[in-house]
Amino acid sequence: MDEDEIRWLILEKLHMEYLKDSYRYVMKDNLLQAPGILGLAENVMDRNIKYLEQKGLIDVRRYVGGGFMTRINAFGVDAIEHKKDARSAAGTRGSGAVLEKELDRQLLDRFPSLVDELVVTREQLAKGDKPIHFQSVAMACRNHFYDFADAVYRPEFLPEGEEPPSRNQVKRKVRFTLMAVGGGHAERDLVESTIDQFEALVVYIHKEAHDKSTDRSCAAACLADLETAMLIILHEIAKKR
């Protein structure tokens, strides 16, 4: 069980207690005995509780000696409910359904947390009705690409003489990754041109956030470019496995 699965199990347990009593805190010992969590090492629990607290999804009260009690807050409830609603809706829309399904299939094997993030963003796109909503989708897409590039890139991919890429240098990370796995010039050119179009759309949507002409189609194109680039990159990496 990876860290992402552990965090969702913790949130789901706290959400169940929230449904019984929205003010109820759960003691550490009770959380460690919960189904699916039973047997989890105490230090792993502590680490993931700290992560969820830093993300603003839970409230925690700590005691001397390492004990604590915790409860899910409004942001955590939203995360749980978005996940459930978005998962049921994913893949049911006509346009882009095949792309999304194939991308999710490949991401689930290696980066499952990215699938959950993409599902939420797709749902935001489907429900949004104002330019500011579509700006939020574009910004989320940019952050997804940063996370994806961080996940696929490895320090050993850095060519000799090159400076290490920063977090926002997605194109360099992708180029070095594709070079390391043996991707050809055609594949790298295709990915880089898609990234250029994606980044241009993000900038455009950000600048025109309050313009009524910034509609759903702009954000949809942004998300489609992101998913296309990710799928091509994953395909190239898988070929060299």
- The predicted-structure confidence for 13-47, as pLDDT tens digits, reads as follows 898 888 888 888 999 998 888 877 878 889 999 99
pLDDT (mean) for 152-156: 91
Q: Which of 130-139, 140-149, 189-198 has the highest mean pLDDT?
A: 140-149
Among 1.10.10.10, 2.40.50.100, 1.10.1240.10, 3.30.70.60, what is the CATH number of 3-75? 1.10.10.10
- Answer yes or no: pTM beyond 0.75: no
Q: Domain spans of the chain?
A: 3-75, 92-239
pLDDT tens per residue across span 193-202: 878 878 887 7
At residue 211, the pLDDT reads 56
C-alpha distances out from residue 187 to 9, 70, 193, 237, Å: 39, 48, 10, 11
Find the range with the poorest average confidence among 28-32, 95-99, 141-145, 212-216: 212-216
